[in-house]
Amino acid sequence: MESLELEKQPSPYDLTDEQEKKEIVRRYRALLRALKPKLKTGDKELVRRAFELSVEAHKTMRRKTGEPYIFHPLSVAMICVEEIGLGVRSTICALLHDTIEDTDLTLEEIQLEFGSEMAKIIDGLTKIATVVDNNTTQQVENFKKILLTLTDDPRVILIKLCDRLHNMRTLDSMKREKQLKTASETVYVYAPLAHRMGLYNLKTEMEDLAMKYLDPDTYKQVAKKLSETKRERTKYINEFIKPVKEKLDKAEFAYEIYGRPKSIHSIWNKMKKKNVEFEEVYDLFAIRIIVTAGFEHEKEACWKIYSIVSDMYNPAPERMRDWLSNPKANGYEALHTTVMGPQGKWVEVQIRSKRMNEIAEKGLAAHWKYKEGGAEEDRFDKWFSQIRETLGGEDISSIDFLQDFKTSFLAEEIYVYTPKGDVKMLPVGSTALDFAFGIHSAIGSKCIGAKVNHKLVPIGYKLKSGDQIEIITSNKQKPTEDWLSSVVTAKAKSRIKDALKEEKRKIAEDGKYVAEKKLSAYGAAFSQHNIDELVAYYKMPSSMDLFYRIAIKQIDLKELQEFELKGDRIEFIKIKKTEPEKAGPENTRVDDKKDAELIIFGEQSDKIMYSLGNCCKPIPGDDVFGFVTTGKGLIIHRTNCPNATRLLSSHGHRVVKTKWVKNKEISFLTGLKITGLDDVGVIHKITNLISGDLKININAITVEAKEGIFEGNIRLFVHDKDELDLLLNKLRALQGIQTVQRYNPES
């Protein structure tokens, strides 16, 4: 279904291998066993028919791993059933999800065999597949298709997420550039989407697998340290749990309690966010308590357990999270608290009921009742209707759409209140202006300020959970360009852009009149051909933009004399340039040679213009990729660059494979942040090691000491990553040094 699975080859032999046949049957039987609780009369025959059709359709195909292709739909179906709890219909759709796109089977045949409901889901999956990895189509267009099918039938996206997860699990067999693109797309779009659907297990596994390919060194480093500290962690968890179990048993609760390790990706995020080493991340695991209680008594039981835990271990009040009173928008309900455990260590404790736990693990799939109502369905219905409204807006062709969607619909939420006490959910980072547009477009457009908790605030004020907001409006107010930087929700951005476009259109009418007069004076007609010629000459996106620029006097049409008049038609006189062309990205045609290997600092470096990304300052030895820009030629980025996932997922077709060739004559600027004890001679020891022992050239050094701790920033020139790693290890070994981390200095 996805691009990385479409590189299929005819099998060197049809499925005659007995071992393969046995393995296919074994996997099919395992799928049936997993489905058993959900099978009704006649279901088994339908599943068998779907399986047979899939085997027949894919019999001559193999995956890049060399396995029979049927392993993929069987694995996707198994993830649907076992890991997110979908039923018979979704299983059939998962088994057939690639058949329409890749084989001779038609949608009509599937409809005749399995009915219109399943045919519709498979059609939705096929529509998504047909635009994946099309080099001429932006990834954003693909994502819109995914969203449209999601609002039509959520099972489409649930199966799609299972399909993506299995492809991530089998990504080893793909080429490096395909691994980078797929991993970036996964962490940028699919993992947040899985999170928003409440599928936490899928989300964390996707993030970990993406990190394995985007930042393999860090991934291995954190995984190794997790493995090395496992025994010590298990011992501590048992010590923490033992007295809690005694109290819970005494209170006669039916419960499960266990320690769950945090994902590699989330541990690395904490290390980056708090600027600490692995050893200093206190919440490497969480203690989870799952209580069995009837629906009416769930909350009461959770609070009682919280009371027992907080009586034994002191809680940190600022780390308390109550998602029982206000569940997350994806349905997640739980109590989270962080308490001071034995040996002075902070420990996160998560408390929830069995029903809440199923929702936490299976997300939307656990509480989506097809044909039935219910509060949880309403929660998602509201979300889907907001997506439909956004997709129905006029201006969704922008490349910012993907980022706008992420901040609007995939971010964490805050709860705020109207003056009457009605609760509203908004993404984190929302402002008073977002709230105003959330109430109604007309209120947003006239907003001049707000009262938050009865105090006057500007329209750009960032809201916090629990705020009560009253919007102040004026009929004289109109949206302005700078409003766009004061909002995060897609609805607010879309409405502001619509209003600005309407205002621009009115001004453009004056420019249209001026253009007509000037053309007439030159002896040319005010015709579509002549307008198109002017639009092309001035490189305007549209005729409205041209007329607008004329109206605001940014264009005065003096250049009309450069046009040749043929009757009443104008044509631009193209003057041929005689000077020799300069070597550069335009004539190397890097974008056309996508598969050509770019060797940096090797023999070809004089043929290709490139620059190193200021956002990540790569040095030889870093895992990198080249990115073709429209104005600056080829830019080299590290694969763990802050912008890498956005570039690789939104513009994958502009990525060029790159490889370093060592050259000890060229040095690269990089930076180190060092913290430690402000002891006598510590700075001398550091500079002596860098300049004296390792002969590395220091560009600049700044040191600040406060209350016995120093923080230093050193800019220096290194030849490659090996030299930098050696320096990092030697600095960390110095007495009194607490942390040493690489950073990207400004040029």
Q: What is the DSSP string of 366-387?
A: HH--TT---HHHHHHHHHHHHH
Residue 580: its pLDDT value, please?
39
**For 449-478, what is the mean pLDDT?**
90
Q: In this model, does residue 1 exceed pLDDT 60?
A: no
C-alpha distances in Å from residue 139, one per residue of 135, 149, 636: 9, 16, 21
Residue 145: its pLDDT value, please?
61
Residue 107: its pLDDT value, please?
83
For the chain, list the domains and their CATH numbers: 3-214 (1.10.3210.10), 227-367 (3.30.460.10), 498-572 (no CATH), 585-659 (no CATH), 668-743 (3.30.70.260)
Interval 397-453: pLDDT, tens = 444 555 666 665 666 777 888 888 887 888 888 999 999 998 888 999 999 889 999
Cα atoms in the 13 Å half-sphere on the side-chain side of 107: 13
Q: How confident is the model at residue 11 (pLDDT cuts 50, 70, 90)?
A: very low
Q: Which of 190-204, 271-285, 397-411 is the most confident on average?
A: 190-204
Distance CA 624, CA 618 (A): 7
Q: Count of CB atoms within 10 A of residue 45's CB?
A: 9
Please report, rounded to a whole number, the percentage of residues in the chain having pLDDT higher than 90: 19
Q: In this model, does residue 486 exceed pLDDT 70?
A: yes
**For 457-479, what is the mean pLDDT?**
90
Residue 30: its pLDDT value, please?
92
Q: In this model, does residue 200 exceed pLDDT 90?
A: no
Token code pair at residue 399: 């490349």
| Helical spans, DSSP H, in 281-411 | 298-312, 354-362, 364-367, 375-391, 401-405
Give me the chain's average pLDDT, please: 80
Q: In this model, does residue 462 exceed pLDDT 50?
A: yes
Higher pLDDT, 65 or 114: 114
Distance CA 567, CA 524 (A): 8
Ranges assigned E (strand) in 418-487: 423-427, 447-452, 455-457, 469-473
Q: In degrees rounded to 5, what are phi and psi of residue 314?
A: -65, 125
Token code pair at residue 386: 């907001």
Token code pair at residue 534: 């002017």
Q: In this model, does residue 454 exceed pLDDT 80?
A: yes
Interval 550-580: pLDDT, tens = 888 888 887 777 787 778 888 776 543 334 3
Q: Rounded to 5 degrees, what angle do the CA atoms 544, 545, 549 make?
A: 120
Please report, rounded to a whole number, the percentage of residues in the chain having pLDDT higher than 70: 81
Q: Which of 165-174, 377-386, 613-622 is the most confident on average?
A: 165-174
Question: Annotated catalytic sites, by residue?
Answer: 101-102
**For 516-543, what is the mean pLDDT?**
86
Q: In this model, does residue 9 exceed pLDDT 70?
A: no
Residue 738: its pLDDT value, please?
85
Closest CA to 97 of 117, 115, 124, 78: 124
Radius of gyration of the chain (CA): 30
Token code pair at residue 275: 């600027």
Interval 349-407: pLDDT, tens = 999 999 888 888 877 666 553 233 344 445 566 666 666 666 655 454 444 555 666 66
End-to-end CA distance of the chain: 44
Q: In this model, does residue 205 exceed pLDDT 90?
A: yes
Residue 301: its pLDDT value, please?
94
216-228 and 230-250 helices, crossing angle to 10°:
60
In DSSP terms, 737 is beta-bridged to 676
Q: How confident is the model at residue 3 (pLDDT cuts 50, 70, 90)?
A: very low
Q: In this model, does residue 606 exceed pLDDT 60?
A: no
Q: Is residue 325 a contact partner of residue 336, using CB atoms and an 8 Å limit?
A: no
Residue 308: its pLDDT value, please?
94
Q: Is residue 189 a contact partner of residue 164, using CB atoms and an 8 Å limit?
A: no
SS (H, E, C) 697-745: EEEEEEEEEECCEEEEEEEEEECCHHHHHHHHHHHHHCCCEEEEEEECC
| Helical spans, DSSP H, in 197-282 | 200-214, 216-228, 230-250, 264-274
Q: In this model, does residue 122 exceed pLDDT 50?
A: yes
Residue 150: its pLDDT value, please?
63
**For 585-602, what is the mean pLDDT?**
40
452's CB contacts (< 8 A; 6+ apart) are: 432, 461, 463, 467, 468, 469
Distance CA 246, CA 256 (A): 13
Higher pLDDT, 159 or 604: 159
| Residue whose entry in the numeric block shows the structure tokens 């947040």 | 192
Q: How confident is the model at residue 485 (pLDDT cuts 50, 70, 90)?
A: confident
Taken in order 527, 528, 531, 537, the sign of the CA dihedral is negative
**For 172-185, what is the mean pLDDT?**
85
Distance CA 519, CA 565 (A): 11
Interval 51-89: pLDDT, tens = 988 888 888 888 877 788 889 999 999 999 988 888 888
Q: How confident is the model at residue 10 (pLDDT cuts 50, 70, 90)?
A: very low
Q: Rounded to 5 degrees, what angle do the CA atoms 570, 571, 575 make?
A: 145
| Residue whose entry in the numeric block shows the structure tokens 């001035």 | 538
Higher pLDDT, 340 or 580: 340
